[in-house]
């Protein structure tokens, strides 16, 4: 977790710091400690850089406190904000398109007209849902 410790600065890297809200919350809690001058999270890199006054705050105490905060945040279950359902719907739509298109082509090749038309219509339904879901990026 502790990547580097230089006189007056500690850099911490943890998976929980990749989430910007959790990183900001941990940075605020660390910044409230006496002797901490600055706490800067970098969610892209998943790290937290803490600048502190070496006369006021002991390095070991600071490192233990930061590690405790990061470990406590990792134990908190993430609440779903709807992305899971959205991602699942997108994935189901893509698999549905793939399955119905290949089945429709197979039945078309075999000469089964009604099954070909049925699976072709199902493919068009999945394609319509797909276009609706991605209309923002498709029709710029």
Residue 41, number of CB atoms within 10 A of its CB: 25
At CB < 8 A and 24+ separation, what contacts does 75-83 make?
A: 78/19
Q: What is the pLDDT of residue 76?
A: 62
Q: What is the pLDDT of residue 78?
A: 60
Give the end of a domain, one of 57, 75, 93: 75
Provide the CATH number for the domain around residue 10: 3.30.70.100
Co-location of 62 and 99 in the same domain: no
SS (H, E, C) 41-77: EECCCCEEEEEECCCCCCHHHHHHHHHHHHHHHHHCC
- Give me the residue label for tokens 């911490």: 12
Residue 87 has pLDDT above 70, yes or no: yes
Co-location of 100 and 63 in the same domain: no
pLDDT tens across 31-63, in order?
Answer: 898 889 999 999 888 899 999 888 888 888 888
Mean pLDDT, residues 18-36: 88
Co-location of 32 and 92 in the same domain: no
Alpha carbon distance 66, 63 (integer Å): 5
- Domain total of the chain: 2
Co-location of 96 and 120 in the same domain: yes
Domain extent for 25? 2-75
Residue 124 has pLDDT above 90, yes or no: yes
Q: What's the whole-model pTM score? A: 0.54
């Amino acid at each position: 977790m502790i990547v580097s410790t230089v006189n007056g600065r500690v850099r911490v890297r943890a998976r929980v710091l990749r989430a910007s809200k959790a990183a900001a919350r941990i940075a605020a809690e660390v910044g409230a400690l006496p002797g901490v001058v600055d706490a800067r999270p970098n969610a892209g890199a998943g790290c937290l850089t803490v600048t502190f006054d070496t006369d006021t705050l002991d390095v070991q105490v600071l490192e233990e406190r930061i590690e405790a905060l990061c470990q406590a945040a990792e134990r908190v279950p993430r609440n779903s904000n709807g992305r899971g359902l959205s991602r699942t719907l997108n994935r189901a739509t893509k698999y549905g398109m793939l399955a119905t298109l290949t089945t429709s082509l197979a039945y078309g090749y075999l000469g089964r007209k009604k099954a070909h038309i049925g699976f072709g219509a199902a493919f068009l339904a999945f394609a319509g849902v797909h276009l609706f879901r991605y209309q923002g990026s498709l029709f710029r």
